[in-house]
A and B are shown apart, each in its own frame.
Chain A
Amino acid sequence: MSTPQPRSDEVRSVAAERGPLAMEAISLSKDFRLGRGQVLHAVRGVCLGLYRGAATALVGESGSGKTTVARLLAGQEGLTSGSIRLDGNPVDLSSRRAFRQYKSKVQLVFQDPFSSLNPVHTVRHNLERPVRLHQGRKTSAEIAGETAALLEQVRLTPPGKFLPKFPHELSGGQRQRVSFARALAARPQVLLADEPVSMLDVSIRLEMLSLLDDLRNRFQLALLYITHDIASARYFADEILVMYAGRIVERGPAEELTQHPAHPYTQLLVASAPDPDNLGNALRDGADGSRRRPESPGPAAAGCPFSPRCPFAGDRCRAEDPALRRVSDVRAAACWHLDVAAPGVMAEPQGGGT
């Protein structure tokens, strides 16, 4: 477990162009025991690297294991197998002290700003606590200055207006800003954002993502952006990892992957996104070729987990689970039939986006 294994896919990450490797996950796996001898393999063999100043998106549907990956990386959940390295060193969470040190470098932002802030405490309390915990000894004046600065960083100004408020007195967007500020209070290197905008109104999502992008840039955060909205990942991530049934099934540069998806599941995700330019027709014609699909079957127990839903599935797909295979220098996909599913992508392995 301690010996670092070579990455299962020899593919360069475009996120590495932004800065040095901050965090590396090597073959992460997590099983949950369901009772009666049943085991849920929530995460299987996930490898990923997070780089300073870069945003990596983890995209997938609910139940795909993306939140479990975030919880594993945050140290909230023990690994079944695999390892995590921070700044090149294996992560040790054996003692409380080590855990706290780890948390001061790796912070998690949750999806629901309505339940992730302590409702009985003011914004001031919610922010002062992490400052005290993670920033060493400080006078109360320094702490006050720090909390005010945090609110300014997330553009809640003037800070004096927000510090005495309770979470229920804030709008959803303002609460999520406080969550960002709380995560920043630890001065982390790595920020794991689990669906940070999906509970917010469409009109404020963009502002929030721009803020996150700005914070990533300003503090050189290694950002993991977890989302089910692949369109937002196109705009806000350098690299996209697509997850299905606990595995990464495709990875590559955001623009290239969304414009020329290789894996059939990524293709389905892209085809399912709303298309504002296609007024009123796509839904009627069934743009994805199937007007009336039965309820999507769950992942397969054997073979490729996507095979029950895949239009290209053959005998091999139902028998053998494909590993991530190199598609180009910066792209990989786990599919036996890439030549049929994505002939364009395979024909030009260096295809440089659009």
Chain B
Amino acid sequence: MSAPILAIEDFSVVYRSPGGDVRAVQGVNLELYASEVVGLVGESGSGKSTLAYGACRLLRAPALITGGSVRYQGRRAAAPMDIVRMQADELRRLRWREIAIVFQSAMNALNPVLNVRDQLLDVIHAHLRMSRQDAKDKAASLLDLVGIPRARLRSYPHELSGGMRQRVMIAMALATDPEVVIMDEPTTALDVVVRRDILTQIVELKDRLGFSILFITHDLSLLLELADRIAVMYAGRLLEAGTAAEISREPAHPYTRGLLHSFPSLRGARRDLAGIPGSPPDPQNQPPGCAFLPRCGYGTERCTSIDMSLAPVASSADPSHVTACPFVLPGTPPPAQPKGHPAAASAGADQ
């Protein structure tokens, strides 16, 4: 593969608070190649949205980028640029034109007092040089793109169904023909049938227009079908990354294994569902070593002193398959005692 279009390196973000810094993203490395779908999965509070918004410099105080770089190399750009070091005018050219975002809640992200066409025109006029008539044509063709009848141009957000609103959000993101589209839980609030229609449409548009997608979700089952590669995030760090096929077939990290056994499946024989005991860690009060230890059935004393760097999974056929757990590998039998390790039980986790 050629150079990645987006390369996040050793990226860290803290939230300043009176009680001390909350380390929301800690030394994350993530690459996105052209025409690729990378899925970023994690629970609420794991830092997945902070990572994505941070990489576009969309965070404001008390969030602070404390280290790392985000190298962007678009087809239209002559040389790679570091987004972390960009000036305001460079950022303005980058955002939307190069990297667009589909936000989580379409109802809140759309302006309730503007109709669909005016919102699309806003984007087009802000980022592209175009005559009024061309912009109007463009707005109409964007709706064609996402399969909404042109008659809906004059509709207001409240007149649209949840699925249509999400499609309008996607149309807005694609208005400037961006190279990277970040999608933050774009289908979470939708019904299964509508969700599937929209995912199918996203894949179709991606194949046709050739952009790359960073898809953020808490639902791993959805990513297995959608993503080329998957990165699993927990308490601000990546715990595992690899191709979707590899993650599904040979998950290495105990957390990924837990996630894979957390959703009931409709097809095939009934499986034993294990789930993950306990609740996500308190980001303000993180134990040393592995943050997943309080919920991990494999945990031992050794886990309190590991450095959480990602190492390749030796047995994996996928060279990009990496895990943060040096002790559990594909093939390690399940633990005898499924509950979390007591070594960390006092360290802020409950139950």
A285 CA to B266 CA in the complex, in Å? 19
Given contacts A279-B244, A280-B226, A284-B203, is CB(A273)–CB(B266) below 8 Å? yes
B351 touching A155 by the CB < 8 A rule?
Answer: yes
A317 CA to B53 CA in the complex, in Å? 49
B162 touching A62 by the CB < 8 A rule?
Answer: yes
- CB B157 to nearest CB in A, in angstroms, measures 15
Q: Which of B70-78, B107-115, B131-139, B270-278 contacts A (4 or more CB under 8 A)?
A: B270-278
The residue in chain B whose Cβ has the minimal distance to the Cβ of A232 is B264
Q: Which of A46-54, A73-81, A217-225, A287-295 contacts B (4 or more CB under 8 A)?
A: A287-295
- Chain A contacts of B317 at CB under 8 A? none
**A348 within 8 Å of B by Cβ?**
no
**A173 within 8 Å of B by Cβ?**
yes
A276 CA to B219 CA in the complex, in Å? 11
**A214 within 8 Å of B by Cβ?**
no
- Tell me which residues from 183 to 213 in chain B have a Cβ below 8 Å from any Cβ of chain A: 191-197, 199-201, 203-204, 207
A157 CA to B279 CA in the complex, in Å? 13
A174 touching B279 by the CB < 8 A rule?
Answer: yes
- Chain A contacts of B149 at CB under 8 A? 294
- Chain B contacts of A235 at CB under 8 A? 264, 270, 273
A161 CA to B346 CA in the complex, in Å? 13
B276 touching A203 by the CB < 8 A rule?
Answer: yes
Given contacts A273-B192, A280-B225, is CB(A293)–CB(B197) below 8 Å? yes
Given contacts A155-B351, A203-B262, A275-B225, is CB(A291)–CB(B204) below 8 Å? yes
Given contacts A62-B191, A231-B263, A295-B148, is CB(A203)–CB(B258) below 8 Å? yes
B265's partner among A255, A276, A282, A293 (CB-CB below 8 A) is A276
- Chain B contacts of A258 at CB under 8 A? 266
**A315 within 8 Å of B by Cβ?**
no
- Chain A contacts of B288 at CB under 8 A? none
Tally of B interface residues using CB under 8 Å: 57
- Chain B 214-252: CB-based contact to A (< 8 A → 1; otherwise 0): 000011111011111000000000000000110010000
Given contacts A161-B350, A354-B269, is CB(A172)–CB(B44) below 8 Å? yes
**B312 within 8 Å of A by Cβ?**
no
Given contacts A171-B279, A292-B201, A295-B164, is CB(A201)–CB(B225) below 8 Å? no
- Chain B contacts of A204 at CB under 8 A? 43, 275-276, 279
A284 CA to B224 CA in the complex, in Å? 13
**B268 within 8 Å of A by Cβ?**
yes
**A156 within 8 Å of B by Cβ?**
yes
Report the tally of A-B residue pairs with Cβ distances under 8 A: 153
- Tell me which residues from 149 to 206 in chain B have a Cβ below 8 Å from any Cβ of chain A: 149, 161-164, 167, 191-197, 199-201, 203-204
**A207 within 8 Å of B by Cβ?**
yes
- CB A65 to nearest CB in B, in angstroms, measures 14
A280's partner among B196, B228, B350, B351 (CB-CB below 8 A) is B228
A294's partner among B147, B204, B264 (CB-CB below 8 A) is B147
- Chain B contacts of A277 at CB under 8 A? 265, 267-268
**B326 within 8 Å of A by Cβ?**
no
- Chain B contacts of A230 at CB under 8 A? 192, 266
Most chain B beta-carbon contacts within 10 A, residue among A155, A171, A283: A283
- CB A87 to nearest CB in B, in angstroms, measures 32
Most chain A beta-carbon contacts within 10 A, residue among B203, B228, B269: B203
- CB A53 to nearest CB in B, in angstroms, measures 20
Given contacts A235-B264, A279-B244, A283-B200, is CB(A228)–CB(B192) below 8 Å? yes
A207 touching B218 by the CB < 8 A rule?
Answer: no
**B280 within 8 Å of A by Cβ?**
yes
- Chain A 187-209: CB-based contact to B (< 8 A → 1; otherwise 0): 00000000000000111111100
B248's partner among A206, A228, A279 (CB-CB below 8 A) is A279
18 other A-B residue contacts (CB within 8 Å) besides A234-B270, A279-B248, A295-B163: A155-B351, A174-B350, A201-B44, A206-B264, A207-B275, A207-B276, A229-B192, A231-B263, A234-B264, A269-B193, A274-B221, A275-B225, A276-B265, A279-B245, A283-B199, A293-B197, A294-B147, A296-B163
Instruction: Give 6 A-B contacts (CB < 8 Å), ordered by A residue.
Output: A174-B350, A202-B218, A204-B275, A235-B264, A278-B225, A280-B227
The 4 nearest A-B residue pairs measured at CB: A206-B275, A61-B191, A272-B196, A235-B264
A residues bordering B, Cβ < 8 Å?
61-62, 155-157, 161, 171-174, 201-207, 210, 228-232, 234-236, 255, 258, 268-284, 286, 288, 291-296, 354
